Amino acid sequence: MLDLIEYNALRFHLSVQLDRVDGHGRIKISGWICCRAEIFKLNVRLNAAEFQAPVGYPRPDVYKAINPDRRYPFMNSYFSGVDSEFRTDNAGLVEGLKCMASMVDKKGTLFAEIPFEFDAEGKANLYS
Protein backbone atom coordinates (compact mmCIF):
# COMPACT_ATOMS: atom_id res chain seq x y z
CA MET A 1 0.00 0.00 0.00
CA LEU A 2 1.28 3.44 -0.88
CA ASP A 3 1.17 5.79 2.09
CA LEU A 4 -0.40 9.23 2.20
CA ILE A 5 1.94 11.70 0.56
CA GLU A 6 1.88 15.43 -0.14
CA TYR A 7 4.19 16.82 -2.80
CA ASN A 8 3.48 20.23 -4.37
CA ALA A 9 -0.14 19.93 -3.22
CA LEU A 10 -0.43 16.41 -4.66
CA ARG A 11 -1.96 14.00 -2.14
CA PHE A 12 -2.86 10.38 -2.69
CA HIS A 13 -3.51 7.07 -1.02
CA LEU A 14 -3.33 4.09 -3.35
CA SER A 15 -3.39 0.34 -3.07
CA VAL A 16 -2.04 -1.76 -5.92
CA GLN A 17 -2.54 -5.50 -5.58
CA LEU A 18 -1.31 -8.26 -7.85
CA ASP A 19 -2.79 -11.76 -7.61
CA ARG A 20 -4.18 -14.66 -9.64
CA VAL A 21 -7.89 -15.23 -10.31
CA ASP A 22 -9.28 -18.01 -12.52
CA GLY A 23 -5.82 -18.83 -13.85
CA HIS A 24 -5.08 -15.26 -14.95
CA GLY A 25 -3.17 -12.46 -13.31
CA ARG A 26 -5.19 -9.59 -11.87
CA ILE A 27 -4.05 -6.10 -10.95
CA LYS A 28 -6.41 -4.17 -8.68
CA ILE A 29 -5.82 -0.44 -8.19
CA SER A 30 -7.88 1.51 -5.68
CA GLY A 31 -7.73 4.64 -3.56
CA TRP A 32 -7.67 8.33 -4.41
CA ILE A 33 -5.54 11.11 -5.88
CA CYS A 34 -6.08 14.81 -5.21
CA CYS A 35 -4.21 17.78 -6.61
CA ARG A 36 -4.87 21.43 -7.36
CA ALA A 37 -4.75 20.44 -11.02
CA GLU A 38 -7.29 17.97 -12.35
CA ILE A 39 -5.65 14.54 -12.39
CA PHE A 40 -7.24 12.56 -15.20
CA LYS A 41 -5.60 9.14 -15.03
CA LEU A 42 -3.16 6.96 -13.20
CA ASN A 43 -0.74 4.98 -15.35
CA VAL A 44 0.74 1.92 -13.70
CA ARG A 45 3.67 0.22 -15.42
CA LEU A 46 4.87 -3.25 -14.56
CA ASN A 47 7.99 -3.87 -16.64
CA ALA A 48 6.79 -3.16 -20.22
CA ALA A 49 3.04 -3.56 -19.52
CA GLU A 50 1.06 -0.36 -18.86
CA PHE A 51 -2.38 -0.08 -17.28
CA GLN A 52 -4.41 3.15 -17.31
CA ALA A 53 -6.84 3.68 -14.43
CA PRO A 54 -9.24 6.62 -14.69
CA VAL A 55 -9.41 9.06 -11.79
CA GLY A 56 -12.81 10.55 -11.03
CA TYR A 57 -15.01 8.33 -8.92
CA PRO A 58 -16.90 10.19 -6.18
CA ARG A 59 -15.09 10.15 -2.83
CA PRO A 60 -17.03 12.34 -0.36
CA ASP A 61 -14.88 10.91 2.45
CA VAL A 62 -11.74 12.31 0.82
CA TYR A 63 -13.39 15.68 0.26
CA LYS A 64 -14.38 15.92 3.93
CA ALA A 65 -11.03 14.68 5.24
CA ILE A 66 -8.52 16.68 3.19
CA ASN A 67 -10.43 19.69 1.91
CA PRO A 68 -12.21 21.39 4.85
CA ASP A 69 -10.27 24.61 4.18
CA ARG A 70 -11.05 24.56 0.41
CA ARG A 71 -7.38 24.17 -0.46
CA TYR A 72 -8.31 22.09 -3.50
CA PRO A 73 -11.03 22.76 -6.08
CA PHE A 74 -14.25 20.95 -5.14
CA MET A 75 -14.32 18.76 -8.27
CA ASN A 76 -10.71 17.65 -7.78
CA SER A 77 -11.18 16.54 -4.18
CA TYR A 78 -14.70 15.09 -4.46
CA PHE A 79 -14.18 13.19 -7.73
CA SER A 80 -10.75 11.84 -6.79
CA GLY A 81 -11.41 8.10 -6.60
CA VAL A 82 -9.54 5.34 -8.40
CA ASP A 83 -11.02 1.84 -8.67
CA SER A 84 -9.86 -0.33 -11.56
CA GLU A 85 -9.07 -3.95 -12.22
CA PHE A 86 -7.03 -5.39 -15.09
CA ARG A 87 -6.10 -8.86 -16.33
CA THR A 88 -2.52 -9.71 -17.14
CA ASP A 89 -0.46 -12.80 -17.86
CA ASN A 90 2.51 -11.49 -15.85
CA ALA A 91 1.14 -11.89 -12.33
CA GLY A 92 3.13 -14.92 -11.27
CA LEU A 93 6.41 -13.33 -10.27
CA VAL A 94 6.42 -10.14 -8.24
CA GLU A 95 10.11 -10.12 -7.41
CA GLY A 96 12.17 -8.01 -9.77
CA LEU A 97 9.23 -6.23 -11.40
CA LYS A 98 10.05 -2.63 -12.30
CA CYS A 99 6.94 -0.72 -11.23
CA MET A 100 6.00 2.92 -11.68
CA ALA A 101 2.83 4.87 -10.98
CA SER A 102 2.38 8.09 -13.02
CA MET A 103 -0.29 10.73 -12.47
CA VAL A 104 -1.36 12.71 -15.54
CA ASP A 105 -3.85 15.53 -16.21
CA LYS A 106 -6.18 15.89 -19.24
CA LYS A 107 -3.52 17.78 -21.21
CA GLY A 108 -1.03 14.98 -20.70
CA THR A 109 1.04 16.88 -18.13
CA LEU A 110 2.89 14.49 -15.87
CA PHE A 111 2.49 15.47 -12.20
CA ALA A 112 4.35 12.67 -10.49
CA GLU A 113 6.11 9.38 -11.08
CA ILE A 114 6.34 7.16 -8.05
CA PRO A 115 8.39 3.97 -8.15
CA PHE A 116 7.04 1.13 -6.05
CA GLU A 117 7.56 -2.56 -5.46
CA PHE A 118 5.38 -5.43 -4.39
CA ASP A 119 5.83 -7.32 -1.13
CA ALA A 120 5.61 -11.13 -0.91
CA GLU A 121 1.81 -10.91 -0.67
CA GLY A 122 1.56 -8.99 -3.96
CA LYS A 123 0.75 -5.58 -2.43
CA ALA A 124 2.55 -2.39 -3.39
CA ASN A 125 5.02 -0.43 -1.25
CA LEU A 126 6.82 2.85 -1.89
CA TYR A 127 10.57 2.80 -2.31
CA SER A 128 12.19 4.07 0.84
Q: What does 64-88 look like in DSSP terms, one character per residue?
A: HHH-TT--S-HHHHHS-EEEEEEEE
Instruction: Quote the pLDDT of residue 4.
Output: 44
CATH number assigned to the domain comprising residue 10: 2.60.40.10
What pLDDT tens digit does each residue of the chain (128 aa) get? 444 444 457 888 888 888 888 878 888 999 999 888 888 899 998 888 889 999 999 999 999 998 888 888 899 899 999 999 998 876 555 666 788 899 988 888 888 888 888 887 888 754 32
CA of 38: how far to CAs of 61, 109, 112, in Å?
18, 10, 13
Instruction: Quote the pLDDT of residue 97.
Output: 76
> For residue 92, which amino acid is it?
G
Boundaries of domain holding 18: 5-126
Which of 22, 54, 46, 43 has its CA nearest to residue 110?
43
Coil, strand or helix at 98: coil
Number of structural domains, the chain? 1
Coil, strand or helix at 61: helix
Instruction: Quote the pLDDT of residue 23.
Output: 78
